Amino acid sequence: MKYTPNSPAIVEDMLRSAGFNSLDELFSDVPEAIRLDRKLKLGPGRSEIELTRELKGLAAKNLNTEDYPCFLGAGAYDHYIPAAIDQLLLRSEFYTAYTPYQAEINQGILQSIFEYQSMICMLTGMDVANASMYDGGSALAEACVLACANSKGKKVLLPDTVHPEYQQILQTYAISGKMEIVIVPSTAGVCDLEKMISLIDEDTACVVIQQPNFFGHLEEVEKLADAVHRNKGFLVMAVDPISLAILKPPADVGADIVVGEGQALGNSLSFGGPYLGFFAATKKFLRRLPGRIVGQTTDTEGRRAFVLTLQAREQHIRREKANSNICSNQALNALAATMYLTLIGSTGLQAIAVRCHQLAVYAARELEKAGLKLKYKAPFFREFAVLLDDPARANRRLLENGIIGGYELEDAMLLAFTEKRTGAEIDQLVAVLGGEA
């Protein structure tokens, strides 16, 4: 297939009209020595029929969660996505547009981002939100960069109950020399408050806490917030947006910056991406946030209008003084999240959160009845770890029984429950895992 529409005859005409004799002449400024003197080794182009065959073939080699009940979570969740979302995302005015630099012809996209920002503020209770970041992990890294840039210290304290990949991403970003990451061992599946608080000092830019944490448990946040605020540092929270339907908004427990993985809001699993990171903060960070922000204003006739605003923060204006280099974000994923929250609504989101929790509670009880033990006792939202001698073997047995099992920890399996799961599926899960006790 080719997607170049001009016929060879027209190409000839155009060449002549532009003052050239051949296509090769268009590359006379490329020194001979660095010209590729052979064809790329990519093989021949494919027709659409061949393409569909080839791609279907690859897709068919993957077991998918439409066919197998999935108990994996650990940062990506198999939630139901209302049918309307994909239909709407296929409107190509949305998906084939660039970032809405020209406000007048992109009011629709700008308004959708404004609505997205508003919804993120509603969920988190925070004052301001940006138009999205790449994903939960990179959003957390940028939150810590922001905290460090606005405090005297550069120490970032976090318990090891934060997602291990988030920990890794933070360590990677710290190659800048602008952050010093200190990971604090937890106890019993939650942050060791005493140890954590004892480590907070004047050099502490922020404390990071994930709610619910990687193991699914709920963290006590308020005391940490007080302690870090007393030392003029910031509290950064990474939160699960579905949980915010029932859990206290981060603003109410003292968070200064709130980020999270937004995939659960209407975005498919897609083997890890594209997802979206959401990013919200208190008012005082408004002029320092990373990324795009849409603001409301008026046009010359006084009508309400939307526009990319506060751009003086961004790379294209601040260049080497910018604290973030983000340019493109995850706009279409944020649009999916906006559609999701619109279609599901408050009561829907609450019903989903409650159902996830009830399924998890049911599973925990049934596993205990079958003689298994939970790894940790703390309250959980929709995810917990069950102790197993050989989690990898247990997962293989689950797969033989048509179930995609959980995330393997050393001595346990982290199981996640979404509203798509049923009691019957859990009974099956328990039956297999019970045999592993």
Partner 1 sequence: MSKLIFEKNLKGSNSFTLPPADIPEVDITSSIPASFLRETAPALPDISEVEAVRHFVDLSHRAYGVDNGFYPLGSCTMKYSPKINEWAARLPGFTSIHPYQSVETVQGAMELLYNMQNMLAEITGMDAVTLQPAAGAHGEMTGVMIIKAYHQGRNDQGRTKMMVPDSAHGTNPATANVVGYDVVEVKSNRRGLVDLEDLKSKMSPEIAGLMLTNPNTLGLFEEEIQDIAAVVHDGGGLLYYDGANLNAVMGISRPGDMGFDVVHLNLHKTFSTPHGGGGPGSGPVGVKSYLADYLPVPMVDKKDDKYIFVYDRPLSIGKVKNFYGNFGVIVKAYAYILALGAEGIKDAAQQAVLNANYLRQHLKKDYHIPFDRLCKHEFVATAKRQVDENGVITLDIAKRLTDYGFHPPTVYFPLIVKEALMIEPTETETRERLDDFLQAMASIAEEARNHPEIVTNAPHNAVITRVDEVTAARKPVVKWEDDS
d(CA 167, CA 159): 9
Among 114, 214, 279, 384, binds partner 1 (CB under 8 A): 114
Give me the phi and psi of 100, to 5 degrees please. -75, 70
Q: Which stretch binds partner 1 (CB under 8 A): 154-162, 198-206, 383-391, 418-426?
A: 418-426
The residue among 401 and 422 lying less far from partner 1, judged by its C-beta, is 422
Q: CB-based contacts of 43: which residues, under 8 Å, 6+ apart?
A: none
Among 193, 404, 428, 434, binds partner 1 (CB under 8 A): 404
Asked if 102 is part of the footprint of ligand PLP (rule: CB under 6 A), the reply reads no
Residue 82 near which of ligand PLP, partner 1, none (CB within 5-8 Å, type-dependent): partner 1
The residue among 201 and 390 lying less far from partner 1, judged by its C-beta, is 390
How buried is residue 188: exposed, middle or buried, by Cβ count under 10 Å (0-12/13-18/19+)? exposed
Residue 371 near which of partner 1, ligand PLP, none (CB within 5-8 Å, type-dependent): none
Q: What is the edge-to-edge ordering of all strands in the sheet holding 383-387? A: 383-387, 412-416, 407-408
How buried is residue 206: exposed, middle or buried, by Cβ count under 10 Å (0-12/13-18/19+)? buried
Residue 301 near which of ligand PLP, partner 1, none (CB within 5-8 Å, type-dependent): partner 1
395: number of CA atoms within 13 Å, CB side?
18
Among 21, 187, 198, 296, binds partner 1 (CB under 8 A): 296
The residue among 341 and 432 lying less far from partner 1, judged by its C-beta, is 341
d(CA 278, CA 260): 5
Minimal CA–CA distance to 172: which of 137, 200, 207, 147? 137
The residue among 163 and 313 lying less far from ligand PLP, judged by its C-beta, is 313
Q: What is the per-residue binding string for partner 1 in 254-273, x denoting contact by CB under 8 A?
A: -------x------xxxxxx
Got the DSSP string for 93-117?
HHHT-----SGGG-HHHHHHHHHHH
Instruction: Give the helix ranges, DSSP H, for 125-202.
Output: 136-149, 164-173, 193-199
Q: What is the edge-to-edge ordering of all strands in the sheet holding 234-239? A: 128-129, 277-281, 257-261, 234-239, 204-211, 155-159, 180-184
Among 144, 206, 224, 245, binds partner 1 (CB under 8 A): 245
Among 23, 182, 188, 431, binds partner 1 (CB under 8 A): 23
Q: What is the per-residue binding string for partner 1 in 137-176, x denoting contact by CB under 8 A?
A: xx------x-----------------x-xx-xx-xxx-xx
The residue among 232 and 373 lying less far from partner 1, judged by its C-beta, is 373
d(CA 238, CA 217): 13
Asked if 10 is part of the footprint of partner 1 (rule: CB under 8 A), the reply reads yes
CB of 93 to partner 1, least distance (A): 4
Q: Which of residues 319-338 bind ligand PLP (CB under 6 A)?
A: 327-328
Q: Which of residues 180-199 bind partner 1 (CB under 8 A)?
A: none
Q: Which of residues 222-241 bind partner 1 (CB under 8 A)?
A: none
Asked if 61 is part of the footprint of partner 1 (rule: CB under 8 A), the reply reads yes
Minimal CA–CA distance to 218: which of 194, 197, 198, 188? 188
Asked if 176 is part of the footprint of ligand PLP (rule: CB under 6 A), the reply reads no
Asked if 297 is part of the footprint of partner 1 (rule: CB under 8 A), the reply reads yes
Q: Which amino acid is at 39?
A: K
Give me the phi and psi of 307, to 5 degrees please. -155, 150
- In the complex, the residues that contact ligand PLP under the rule CB under 6 A are 327-328
